[in-house]
Amino acid sequence: MKRLLMLDDEEDLVWTIGRQLARDRKDLAFEGVNDPAEALARVRQAPPDILVTDLRMPKMSGIEVLTAARSVSPRLPVVVVTAYGSPSLRAEVHRSANVAYLEKPFSVQSLLQVVDQLLSRAAAQPAAGFSGAISLPMLPDLVQIYAVALANGQLTIRRDAEEGAIWFERGQIRHAVCASLVGAQAVYALLAWEGGGFDMKEGVAAPAVTIDLPWQELLIEGCRRMDEIHKDDGAEPAVMSSAGVESLGGEAMASVKESLEKLGEVDGFIGACVADSNSGMMLGAHGGGSAINLEVAAAGNTEVVRSKRKAMNSLALKDKIEDILITLGKQYHLIRPLEVKDGLFIYLVLDRQKANLAMGRHALGEVEKTLAV
């Protein structure tokens, strides 16, 4: 019988999951705890077959728990539960990692699906990969972990005599070097490495800022380039195929960036992004700053788009969503699903006192016409 250890500071959630699994999955022994120290003590005593941990907890982050657990059991499959990251970013990777993400709120069936996939993959997973505080088959998985955890510091990657580094600031990649390459090109080169070692030095500031792209864009483009490499040797693609994202190449990413910059000219502009409602992943962003966390907003508003579409289906409305307006006391939030790419939407945040709502909606429509995705 396989053992599942779940750590979450929400006692009701752990209790509910445990009760349903005891009823529906007799082949899976469930252990639920609310304290990270207790969870790690159980891992040290007898490593479970899979660990499910919340990402953000008062005493210890899920990444710290993952790191400590992997020091005991290096290949331990882990499900990181979060309401903030991009849980489906690598949901269908052919050579997938033994770390998966699950977005809150989630159903028990969704959890079981991810658990079964990880257990199956762990059994067939090759020994080679990246080793350090966390063992992973592919570097993009490692980068995603630190990005979702809002890490600050220098990630150093080594392969034989080669070495490169990536600097994070609150989860965003600000600088990277690899041999003579600097910035985004260095990130793409490092993502193509297959095997090596790494270490993370927390709190180390980047010596320069050479990257202003969201980490999601860097991973998508880096993985797209990996696909191009693997096409030559007939290998299966090694990148994510999250719905609505798989066909976005470098030109499309450039179009997204250019379009969002045009929205920056709208009166009262605060921030804008393009997101995928199928995965919750942000494909590009402009603005935001301290006024609004666009990454969190993009992930959260995917539920708004999904719910509205579900409501339209229930009502048998044979129509399209032109835009969705959310009016706050100080802001307008505009969501415009894209006709040209199912699942994608533009998200625009405006200062209510400075903005003209009609002009904002008009600008969204014009930008959609020029957005090449």
- Of 121 and 27, the one with more pLDDT: 27
- pLDDT value of position 133: 47
- Mean pLDDT (whole number) for 338-343: 77
CA distance 324 to 331: 14
- pLDDT value of position 348: 94
pLDDT digits over 3-31, tens only?
A: 999 999 888 889 988 998 888 888 899 99
Q: How would you classify the pairing of strands 50-54 and 78-82?
A: parallel
Q: Hey, CA dihedral for 221, 222, 223, 229, is it positive or negative?
A: positive
- Of 60-74, 147-161, 194-208, least confident by mean pLDDT is 60-74
- pLDDT value of position 99: 74
Is the pLDDT assigned to residue 247 strictly greater than 60? no
- pLDDT value of position 227: 65
Q: Taking a C-beta distance cutoff of 8 angstroms, is the pair 32, 17 a contact?
A: yes
pLDDT digits over 149-183, tens only?
A: 677 899 999 888 899 999 999 889 999 999 899 99
pLDDT category at 306 given cuts 50, 70, 90 is: confident
pLDDT category at 75 given cuts 50, 70, 90 is: confident
CA distance 135 to 115: 18
CATH class of 2-125: alpha beta
Q: Is domain 250-370 classified as CATH 3.90.400.10?
A: no
- pLDDT value of position 225: 76
Radius of gyration of the chain (CA): 21
- Of 251 and 226, the one with more pLDDT: 226
Residues 6 or more apart from 54 whose CB is under 8 A from it? 7, 8, 9, 10, 62, 81, 82
36 half-sphere exposure, CB direction, 13 A CA radius = 17
Residue 165 corresponds to which amino acid? Answer: A
- pLDDT value of position 165: 95
Q: Residue 99: helix, strand or coil by DSSP?
A: strand
- Of 297 and 254, the one with more pLDDT: 297
- pLDDT value of position 286: 87
The pTM (predicted TM-score) of the whole model is 0.42
Q: Average per-residue pLDDT in the chain? A: 79
pLDDT category at 230 given cuts 50, 70, 90 is: low
CA distance 310 to 216: 27
Would you tell me how many other CB atoms lie within 10 Å of the CB of residue 85? Answer: 25
Q: What is the DSSP string of 204-249?
A: PPPSS----S-HHHHHHHHHHHHHHHHHHTTPPP-S---TTTTT--
Q: What is the DSSP string of 26-45?
A: TTEEEEEES-HHHHHHHHHH
- Mean pLDDT (whole number) for 69-94: 62
- pLDDT value of position 336: 92
- pLDDT value of position 125: 54
- Of 144-148, 180-184, 313-317, least confident by mean pLDDT is 144-148
- Of 66 and 85, the one with more pLDDT: 66
Q: Boundaries of CATH 3.40.50.2300 in the chain?
A: 2-125
Q: Taking a C-beta distance cutoff of 8 angstroms, is the pair 332, 318 a contact?
A: no
Q: Report the phi/psi class of residue 153: left, alpha or beta, with left for phi > 0 and alpha for psi in -120 to 50.
A: left
Q: Boundaries of CATH 3.30.450.30 in the chain?
A: 250-370
Is the pLDDT assigned to residue 244 strictly greater than 50? no
From start to end of 298-369, where are the E strands? 324-327, 331-337, 344-351
- Of 340 and 280, the one with more pLDDT: 340
Is the pLDDT assigned to residue 343 strictly greater than 60? yes
- pLDDT value of position 240: 34
pLDDT category at 243 given cuts 50, 70, 90 is: very low
Buried b / exposed e over 29-59, threshold 16 CB at 10 Å, is: ebbbbbebeebbebbeeebbbbbbbbbebee
Q: Which secondary structure element, helix H or strand E, spans residue 257, and what is its range?
A: helix 250-263
Is the pLDDT assigned to residue 195 strictly greater than 50? yes
- pLDDT value of position 246: 39
pLDDT category at 349 given cuts 50, 70, 90 is: very high
Query: Which tokens in the block code for residue 229?
Result: 């490499």
Closest CA to 293 of 302, 305, 285, 281: 285
Closest CA to 225 of 185, 279, 165, 285: 185
- Of 350 and 307, the one with more pLDDT: 350
From start to end of the chain, where are the E strands? 2-7, 28-33, 50-54, 78-82, 99-103, 130-131, 153-159, 162-169, 172-178, 181-182, 196-202, 269-276, 282-287, 324-327, 331-337, 344-351
- pLDDT value of position 241: 32
Q: Taking a C-beta distance cutoff of 8 angstroms, is the pair 44, 72 a contact?
A: yes
- pLDDT value of position 52: 93
